[in-house]
Every structure is written in structure tokens, then in C-alpha cells.
Amino acid sequence: MEGLFDCGTHRYVTTSGAAAEMTAVEKIEEQLASLRIAKRSALSEEPAYVLDVDVSNPAQSESSRLVAVSCSNKSIRVYNRETLNFLREYSSQSGVLNGVRFAHACDSVLFSACSDGTVRCWDIRLATQQATQVFSGYPSNVFISFDVSCNDLIICAGTEKVEKDAFLVFWDARGITNCASATREPLGVYSESHNDDITKICFHPVKPNSVASGSTDGLVNVFDINKDNEDDALISTCNSDSSVSFIGWSGKDYKEVYCVTHDEGFCWWDIAQLDTEESITLLHVLDVRDAVCIENDTLNYLVGGLYHEKADKLFLLGGTSTGNIHLLGCGTDGLSLVGSLCGGHSATVRSFCWNPADESLVTGGEDAQLLLWKPGAVERSLTKKTSLKIASSVQKRVRVHNSSLKSRKK
């Protein structure tokens, strides 16, 4: 059965399996392909790359949903999610920001990780530039990744390699709203499982004791942090053979993990097969740019992935240096183009956040723009912002491993 998707000036045909089995998936794919710009944030007085995006889970009503972004000028900006109206900014950070995360149970609590060796907690209800709590690492720690467990009890941050060590640092996050301006010391660290920069941390969506980490050493590790020591906690080690840039969970009950690499590779594993004779590798694509054909366009890079629970399907998001976004469907038989989102960004898209409640997508990029995409939306102002050439302190971190990794594979 064929499904036809139209995106701007491009039209794509995808071929699926049995019609009866694939109807639900095709419907979801059609929704994704029909994403259009609903809102566009106003350009700030000091434009900066949008590096990371997170959307809050509203505690009371859908209207209270917020968007937080970390920027290349070391600031955190908070917006109303429905209107993309700017609400507030936290500036003057003492290092490079490496991620923002809202607490799962309280939509006014926001976390950020910084290269100065701290994770900070912000209460966006307060009219202050001061963090309500600071989670400090050890003196040599430079945090480049972090995440918060689904029950908001544990924070984990990953460090750059210093001498021979790269650490996963853990803190107890309980009572975050009760102790203003307090500094918290780590619960402990894992130091033996990675031997290079830990680029991504991702807690399991429903199991607070399960966390995955990815590194430039090529490994994606899965831990059960309820175990007494690091050796027992390490449940699985998956080797991507490349430098890991993004990791996530997928599949029913989220028993699968996947990663995107700095040289645009993709790996997908089924952790449930660890104790069986079956291979845990579901798919390994060395270079997605060569594996997916896009009519009248190209794929320059991958940003990350999202698992769609309703469709029980994993999707990847990538794009072009001119701002087009491509959505790819993942199957054990390979990758296929679902649709493209055009006319929004004018430069590389660096981050995104998917909201399954209303099937919407928020994207941020090097053009300093924040966009909200919804199925079938019509943007009132269709003026596309011109590309902004912004000098960024994080440019040197992007895909720095390409040449050495490509030579290793040959």
C-alpha cells in the first residue's frame, strides 16, 4: 500500500507492508508529514544559537506549558509554549550551558548543566536571577550532558575526560523547592564504564532506576543505579563504533535503546534480548546520509530521535544546513523518508522536543529561531528569517570526530 505525503514543493511516496497492519502507523506518519509552522519566536536583541530545548509537563492545565532553551551566549530563555512569547531569561552563566530539563512533576522547576561543574535548579515563579539550588561536582568536573530521573529524585551529569577519567556524577534531588540557594554534594560517581567524554545521559521514561549514557568512546551503557556498585549496575554495553551524539529509549515498555553518532550513523539495540541467543542489534547504519534518498534535497546531519508510543515506531530527525528538516521512519529493514518540514529555519537545526499530547514539535537552530510545528497549521506571518552568522563557543564541539572515525571504518 502506498501513502503519498506532500511537503512544500516536494512530494514523496513511501511503501508499506500489509494494509490492515500498517493503517495506524501510516496515519501517524501522515500527521508527522503534515506538520507546519504554527508559531515563531520573535528575534531577541542578542541572537544566539538555540542549543537545547525542553517542554514542561504542565502540573495544572495545558495552557501553562512552557518551553526552555539553552543558548550559545550562556543564557537560558523561557517561553510560553503555545504562543512562543518570551517570558524570562537567566544570563551571566559562568560556563557553557549543556542542556535544560524541566522537572517532571513541577512545571515551574527547571534544571541546567554547565561546564563550570554545576547543575543548577531554577524556580521560574521567582523574580530572581539566582538559582534556588546548585548541585556541585568535583573540582575537575566539566559537565557536557545531564538528565533527571522520571520521578525527579536523581540527577545525573556526564563529564569531559580529564586525564584518564570520565565520570557519571549523581545527586539526590529530593526537596529541591525547600532549600533555597543550598549547594548539594554528589551522592557518588561511576568512573570505570567510559574512557572518553560522556556526551549524553538519558534516564528511562518510566523506570527511575534505569539510565543510559553515551560517549565519544563509541559506547552506549545502560545502568541499574539501584545496585550497590558500578560493576553490578552496568546492565549492558552497546558499541556503536563511533562517537555518540544522541541517545534515547524506544519500543514497547521502552526495552530498546538507540543512538545517533557524530558522523551521522545510527545504531538501535533491543536490551530485552540480552539473556537470549538472539542478536541485540536491530539496525546499524554507518552513514544515514548515504542510506536515505531524498528527492530534490539532501540530508546533511542528524539531530536525534523520537519514539511514537501510539504508532510503536521510532523516528529520526535530521536536516540540511539551509534549515530544512527531514523525518525518517526506522524499521529493522532500514530507514525511510516520512516527510520534510520546509520554510521554517534558515540554518542548521540543533535541537527539538516532541509533544505526544498534541502531536507537535518544537525546534531550535543556529538561526536563533524557535519554531512550533503542528499538524496542518497555518502560520500568520510566513516571513522566513535570514540566516544569522553567529560566532559560537560550541562550534568546535560539533562533529569534531568525523575524519578520525571515517578512517577507522575503512
Residue 125: count other Cβ atoms within 10 Å of its Cβ. 11
* Interatomic CA distance for residues 62 and 77, integer angstroms: 20
In a domain, 56, yes or no: no
Instruction: State residue 323 phi and psi, 5-degree precision.
Output: 105, -5
Residue-level pLDDT at 168: 98
pLDDT value of position 128: 87
pLDDT of residue 381: 55
* 197 in any annotated domain: no
Does residue 315 contact residue 330 with C-beta atoms inside 8 Å? yes
In 3D space, the residue among 105, 118, 111, 97 whose CA is nearest the CA of residue 186 turns out to be 118
Q: Which burial class, exposed, middle or buried, applies to 163 when counting CB atoms under 10 A from its CB (0-12, 13-18, 19+)?
A: exposed
pLDDT confidence of residue 176: 63
3-state secondary structure of 267: strand
Distance of alpha carbon 231 from alpha carbon 400, whole angstroms: 31
Q: What is the pLDDT of residue 392?
A: 41
Amino acid at 120: R
Residue 41 covered by a domain: yes
Report the DSSP pairing between strands 133-136 and 154-159.
unpaired
Task: Please list the ranges in the chain whose pLDDT falls under 70.
Answer: 1-22, 59-64, 92, 176-182, 380-410
Place of cell 546520509: 289
Look at residue 57 and tell me if it is in a domain. Answer: no
- How many structural domains comprise the chain? 1
pLDDT at 22: 55
Q: Is the residue at 361 inside a domain?
A: yes
What domain range is 360 assigned to? 1-50+303-410
List Cβ neighbours of 202 (8 Å cut-off, separation of 6 or more): 147, 211, 212, 213, 214, 247, 248, 249
- Distances in Å between the Cα of 58 and the Cα atoms of 54, 103, 289 are 12, 10, 37
In a domain, 393, yes or no: yes
Give a yes or no: residue 376 inside a domain: yes
Contacts of 81 (CB under 8 A, 6+ apart): 55, 56, 65, 66, 67, 362, 372
